[in-house]
Amino acid sequence: MEKSNLYSLGLNSGVAQEAALYKELHLARISVQHKELYMVITEQGELRAGLAGKLQFLGSGNGDYPAVGDWVMVDRLDNRGGHAIIQQRLPRSSVLVRRAAGTAYDSQVMAANIDVVFICMALNHDFNLRRLERYLSLVWDSRAKPVVVLTKADLCPELSGKLSEVYTVALGVDVLVTTAMEEDGYGGIRQYIAEGTTVAFIGSSGVGKSTLINRLLGSETLATGHIRADDRGRHTTTHRQLLLLPGGGMVIDTPGMRELQLANADLGASFADIEQLAGRCRFRDCSHDSEPGCAVQAAVREGTLAAGRLQNYVKLQHELSYQGLNSRQLEQEKTNRMFKEVGGRKQARDLGKQKQKRR
């Protein structure tokens, strides 16, 4: 195996100090996840790894399990005695979490320990400000830096108008315009990537994330789909993976999402304009609907705040409130199951002791 410099993979003093607490284990970073099988990078190179039974048992949900970008402690540095075993996940500096598909309760980690998240949105049929607000709320909550990347500029005849719309919702966020049709059409992305920096690309299916990453890699490493007759791209990425860039830094590619359900979000950062207006409302518990003295509704009437933005803000508030209730219900159910399992094992042990006495 080719040896790795873990500091070039984002290792810092905080992670190193945490790792030093586990004397018999070895530090590694997860590069690929396939269900319960992982690829991890250690100082001795990349190897396959499975998850220790204790981590599977103690995990209260998908969000607790190791994910791509996580720093973990493994029991070996090679696969000669079988797969390495991940014994411990170290604390995360940042984490992108969405609600898991097919459930109203559990969460799914998209990437961990990232510094910058590029939110990709195409300037053709994918353009959707309400979806962008949702993505921004997700990234602000992750503790990573959000950057909006507008792709397929060559397919947009009214670029200045679309940019103006984006600036109304991407408050305090850098906005980049890219096109795959020009050799330097992605150059602005590189300014955010340095040695030891981890970036992630997220966005809907077919917006051109893989094409941009291939430009950064300098090779066609990731599969890309051709544009269909309706100008929509094809979904190509099927799993998350961490890739080392030739100029330094790492990138995490994530599968495109047809919809993004939030597990957590920072609405205060993504809707800072509404939060500021809300502070001027006559009533502290104003719902911004029909109350007298509502500064938010006044801004809508004056045309300084888009009605659609307010509606989305209220919608996301309700969604997060509902998600919080369901999460507490799920935690209670899991706690109950755990105690039942422990009680069942105790009952089995007691029965075994009784049989031994009778013998």
Q: Is 8 flagged in the annotation as binding?
A: no
Q: Is 120 flagged in the annotation as binding?
A: no
Residue 280: C-alpha distances to residues 284, 286, 296 (Å): 9, 10, 8
Helix, strand or coil, per DSSP, at residue 49: strand
- Asked if 162 contacts 150 with a C-beta cutoff of 8 angstroms, the reply is yes
Element (H, E) at 39: strand 37-42
Q: Is 10 flagged in the annotation as binding?
A: no
Q: Cα separation of 38 and 47, whole Å?
A: 8
Q: Is 63 flagged in the annotation as binding?
A: no
Q: Which residue has the tokens 């077919």?
A: 206
Q: Which residue has the tokens 């938010």?
A: 296
Q: Cα separation of 27 and 90, whole Å?
A: 9
Q: Is 23 flagged in the annotation as binding?
A: no
Q: Is 266 flagged in the annotation as binding?
A: no
Q: Is 141 flagged in the annotation as binding?
A: no
Residues ≥6 apart with Cβ < 8 Å to 244: 8, 9, 250
Residue 224: C-alpha distances to residues 164, 213, 235, 259 (Å): 29, 10, 8, 20
Q: Which residue has the tokens 């509606």?
A: 311
Q: Is 204 flagged in the annotation as binding?
A: yes
Q: Is 156 flagged in the annotation as binding?
A: no
Q: Is 288 flagged in the annotation as binding?
A: yes
Q: Enumerate the H helices of 81-191 as residue ranges.
A: 129-142, 159-167
Q: Is 205 flagged in the annotation as binding?
A: yes
Q: Is 334 flagged in the annotation as binding?
A: no
Could you give the maximum distance between any two Cα atoms of the chain, in Å? 87
Q: Is 286 flagged in the annotation as binding?
A: yes
Tokens of 120: 């990709």
Q: Is 203 flagged in the annotation as binding?
A: yes
Tokens of 94: 């940042």
Q: Is 206 flagged in the annotation as binding?
A: yes
Q: Cα separation of 173 and 186, whole Å?
A: 18
Residue numbering of the annotated binding site: 151-154, 203-211, 281, 286, 288, 294
Q: Known binding site for GTP: residues? A: 151-154, 203-211
Residues flagged as binding site for Zn(2+) = 281, 286, 288, 294
